[in-house]
Amino acid sequence: MSGQQRSNISPGAKVSIVLKQDQRSGKLTEGIVKDILTKSPNHPHGIKVRLEDGQVGRVKEIHS
């Protein structure tokens, strides 16, 4: 599922995000969503979230 729609993401969801420092390489980091930081209903580069371990990045994949 795409991480561009805010409605697809909820706290507790397992996601893959790209961290700011990994945007060039595209390296993904997996984690559980703690907070959704993007207020708009969608974003072309992915919804920005904070994971439970404190890392912040944009959602690229949502795992079911």
> Residue type at 23?
Q
* Count of CB atoms situated within 10 Å of the CB of 28: 15
pLDDT for residue 64 is more than 90? no
Q: Name the average pLDDT for the chain.
A: 96
SS3 9: coil
What is the per-residue pLDDT for 35?
Answer: 98
Q: How many CA atoms lie within 13 A of 42 on its CB side?
A: 4
- The residue with greater pLDDT, 2 or 48, is 48
pLDDT class of 1 with cuts at 50, 70, 90: confident
What CATH number is given for 6-63 in this structure? 2.30.30
15-39 pLDDT per residue, tens: 999 999 999 999 999 999 999 999 9
Domains of the chain by residue range: 6-63
